[in-house]
Amino acid sequence: MNRREASMMAGASMLATLAGAGTAAAAHPLRVLILGGTGFIGPHFVAALRAHGHRVTVFNRGKDPDKVPAAVVQLIGDRNGQVDALKGHDWDVVIDDSGFTLRQVRLTTELLKGHIKHYIFISSISAYADLAVPGVDENYKLAKVADPNTEDLGAGNYGGLKALCEQLVEHTYQADATIIRPTYIAGPGDTSDRFTYWPVRVARGGQMLAPGTPADPIQFIDVRDLADFIRRCAEKHLSGRFNVCNPPRAVTMGSLLEASRRISGADTKFVWASVEFLTAQKVIGDDAPPGNPLPIWNPAQGEEAGAALISPARAVSQGLRFRPLDQTIRDTLQWQKQRPAAQQNLRAGLSAQREAQLLQLLRSA
């Protein structure tokens, strides 16, 4: 992402925040530290906070200086050990969107103790032990990891490490700790392409493989809605744990694809593939190769049947709001058009060749 693209994304995020939450600056501007700030979600956090008059500092390795607005203070370091730049400063709140291991989070929780009033940790729904049942709320059992000190985020460790980081933050900051557990994060800037794949593939037109049934629920959160809720947590000093995702069944696979077709104006024809077919063809299931061929969607039955039925009721009661699905799709498609040629081949979703093979099998079945 170059300077022009970063500026456009930040500007769009700020405008959306102003339109959705009012233009009045906060009564008491906060001093906010973001541990990160230049990845996917960080620039949206910066834009939402600045739009309401808060003073923002980012701490990162300095690899993407073009993503840091001129009015934002940047401290250079590495949370894997080089954290001296954080010493000698005080902030009202820290937003930790880059903590993945106990060692990383222990460094910042200990160093910032006594120098901040509120610690907001961005975790994940992966912190739950499983997602087999619908309606998982913030009190559901958490994942565990065999070696708490491992730094290997693979091998099934990611969720357990996130849970341990949460517990460390809560133990250190008690009533001044906020844990945010988002599901899939969507919108402009998402280079994981997990949401992006669907509207972009629909816009390409022709016959398209669609998984499951049109009624299958999906859950995600627009990054700008996440950013605005984080801002609200900071301003209201909201503590506790919050699932952050759209309400169960508010969006289905069918509604996502139909809206994408309408917005893009494509002639796409959806060919729905059953769970049984996708499993037999090793697209999903234990025999599927590594990758993310059908992102966001999960089978309605099985080990992750509740992955799209998580409860965000607690966050909604504290002000979490959702922009229209059409806006997320439209803005994502517009952002995708601005990406360089090397990023037009998406990191998630079926390749054109694999999709064509599957569609041929479905036609001949």
Q: Rounded to an integer, what distance in angstroms lies between the CA atom of residue 39 and that of residue 181?
A: 18
In one-letter notation, the amino acid at residue 177 is: A
Q: pTM of the entire structure?
A: 0.92
- Coil, strand, or helix at residue 213? coil
Positive or negative, the CA dihedral 347, 64, 101, 125 is negative
3-class DSSP string for 87-117 = CCCCCCEEEECCCCCHHHHHHHHHHHCCCCC
- Coil, strand, or helix at residue 258? helix
pLDDT score at 302: 82
Tens-of-pLDDT digits for all 365 residues of the chain? 344 334 434 444 444 444 444 446 777 899 999 999 999 999 999 999 999 999 999 999 999 888 899 999 999 999 988 999 999 999 999 999 999 999 999 999 999 999 999 999 999 999 999 999 999 999 999 999 999 999 999 878 999 999 999 999 999 999 999 999 999 999 999 999 999 999 999 999 999 999 999 999 999 999 999 999 999 999 999 999 999 999 999 999 999 999 999 999 999 999 999 999 999 999 999 899 888 899 999 998 888 889 999 999 999 999 999 999 999 999 999 999 999 998 889 999 999 999 999 999 999 97
- Coil, strand, or helix at residue 46? helix
CB atoms under 10 Å from CB of 352, counted, come to 12
Q: Rounded to an integer, what distance in angstroms lies between the CA atom of residue 331 and that of residue 352?
A: 24
Domain boundaries in the chain? 3-364
The pair of three-digit structure tokens given for residue 231, joined into one six-digit string = 């801002």
Q: What is the pLDDT of residues 114-132, one digit of tens each?
A: 999 999 999 999 999 999 9
CB 36 within 8 A of CB 58: yes
Residue 37's alpha-carbon distances to 6, 272, 347, in angstroms, are 12, 39, 22
CA atoms within 13 A on the CB side of 101: 13
Label residues 325-338 b or e (16+ Cβ within 10 Å = b). Answer: bebbbbbbbebbee
Question: How far is C-alpha 107 from the geometric centre of its chain's CA atoms?
Answer: 24
Alpha helices in 245-351 (DSSP H): 253-264, 275-280, 313-317, 325-338
For strands 240-244 and 177-182, give the pairing.
parallel
CB 31 within 8 A of CB 7: no
In one-letter notation, the amino acid at residue 290 is: P
Class (C level, CATH) for 3-364: alpha beta
Q: Which helix (H) or strand (E) holds 198?
A: helix 197-204
Q: What is the pLDDT of residues 174-191, one digit of tens each?
A: 999 999 999 999 999 999
Q: Rounded to an integer, what distance in angstroms lies between the CA atom of residue 95 and that of residue 179?
A: 10
pLDDT score at 143: 97
CB 191 within 8 A of CB 343: yes
Residues in contact with 345: Cβ distance below 8 Å, sequence separation at least 6, in sequence order = none
pLDDT score at 22: 46
